[in-house]
């Protein structure tokens, strides 16, 4: 495998543009973004404003004859992944590693089913590396993204021996070092992925219903109780599945929450405020489904699923993209 030199970002929302800007600051010219139709024209014309600076990343269309990329970072919403897979397929080659920064716990399976494990995978592994981003507070409004905390990308095989990392994990880590992208390779990546899932099931959904920034959950005991009730159902489910989250994970999350900008909003809260489709199926929907499968009660997430679907139904249908 050759070193990673060229990166394609699929999903130009808050997280995608924030990561693209960080990489571009340290390795200029290495990042392109994928877009088609009106977005292709608009991104080419206007570029992207991130923390007040304008970036003109090369915009690549799904049907471009541009060569394959060394790394593709996927940062779309859950319900947009099937379309994204079709749009990125022309840019995936034998040397392409794929890293999903999407919410939830299933994107690697969907990407692996279409593209396989990529170069440098351990024997018998058929999925791309597991990955998530935690602690970033990026917000996208129109063409402008702002963030105060860069957060950190966690990635790796399901389990990792830091003294004997797989070739594909070493390759990505070397690139992140060069690009000054904060990262961590946990020993138990599956547990880390479920930790992020627990966080999002609580903070994303509670903030969407309350239409509130992080400040409310940093300061208000009632809002925090709503969030943690949802999260404790994920903890109970993880224990039934052998992932084994526990109460200490709530304490660890509270430390991260305290460092987020009080006025920033979760992605699901942004979606509700903009009358957009949310990822409630990925969050509460997944919890309820797995709860039935493993016989774990999930009444809070079932209630929240219905509440958020009702909120979506109240949108003006001409506004939903």
Whether 7-187 and 190-311 share one fold: the answer is no
Length of the chain: 321
Mean pLDDT for the chain? Answer: 94
For the chain, the structural domain boundaries read: 7-187, 190-311
pTM of the entire structure?
Answer: 0.90
Partners of 50 in the β-ladder:
53, 145
pLDDT tens digits, 142-175: 889 999 888 999 999 999 998 899 999 999 999 9
- For residue 320, pLDDT beyond 70: no
Residue 283: alpha-carbon gap to chain centroid:
13
Exposure string over 122-150, b if 16+ CB within 10 A, otherwise e? eeebebbbbbbbbbbbbbbeeeebbbebb
Choosing among 3.40.50.720, 2.40.30.10, 3.20.20.140, 1.10.3720.10, the CATH entry for 7-187 is 3.40.50.720
pLDDT tens digits, 262-282: 998 998 999 999 999 999 999
Higher pLDDT, 321 or 269: 269
Q: Which residue's structure tokens are 């809070």?
A: 300
Q: Which two tokens stand for residue 292?
A: 């039935």
The CATH number that domain 190-311 falls under is 1.10.1040.10
Residue 311: alpha-carbon gap to chain centroid:
23
Q: Which residue's structure tokens are 């995608």?
A: 16
């Amino acid at each position: 495998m050759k070193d990673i030199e060229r990166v394609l970002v699929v999903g130009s929302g808050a997280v995608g543009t924030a990561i693209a800007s960080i990489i571009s600051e340290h390795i200029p010219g290495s990042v392109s973004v994928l877009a088609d139709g009106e977005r292709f024209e608009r991104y080419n014309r206007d570029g992207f404003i991130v923390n007040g600076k304008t970036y003109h990343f090369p915009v690549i269309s799904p049907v471009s004859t541009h060569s394959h990329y060394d790394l593709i970072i996927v940062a779309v919403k859950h319900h947009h992944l099937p379309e994204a897979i079709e749009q990125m397929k022309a840019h995936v080659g034998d040397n392409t590693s794929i890293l999903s920064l999407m919410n939830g716990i299933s994107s690697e399976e969907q990407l692996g089913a279409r593209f396989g494990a990529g170069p440098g995978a351990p024997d018998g592994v058929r999925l791309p590396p597991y990955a998530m981003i935690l602690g970033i507070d990026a917000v996208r409004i129109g063409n402008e993204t702002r963030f105060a905390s860069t957060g950190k990308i966690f990635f790796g095989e399901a389990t990792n021996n830091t003294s004997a990392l797989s070739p594909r994990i070493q390759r990505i880590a070397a690139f992140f070092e060069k690009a000054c992208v904060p990262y961590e390779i946990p020993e138990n990546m599956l547990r880390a992925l479920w930790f992020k899932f627990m966080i999002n099931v609580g903070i994303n959904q509670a903030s969407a219903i309350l239409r509130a920034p992080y400040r409310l959950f940093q300061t208000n005991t009632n809002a925090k109780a709503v969030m943690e009730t949802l999260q404790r159902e994920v903890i109970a489910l993880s224990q039934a599945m052998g992932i084994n989250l526990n109460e200490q994970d709530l304490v660890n999350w509270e430390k991260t929450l305290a460092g987020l900008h009080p006025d920033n909003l979760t992605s699901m809260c942004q979606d509700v405020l903009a009358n957009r489709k949310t990822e409630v199926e990925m969050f509460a929907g997944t919890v309820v489904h797995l709860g039935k499968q493993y016989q774990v009660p999930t009444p809070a997430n079932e209630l929240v699923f219905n509440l958020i679907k009702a909120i979506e139904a109240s949108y003006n249908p001409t506004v939903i993209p």
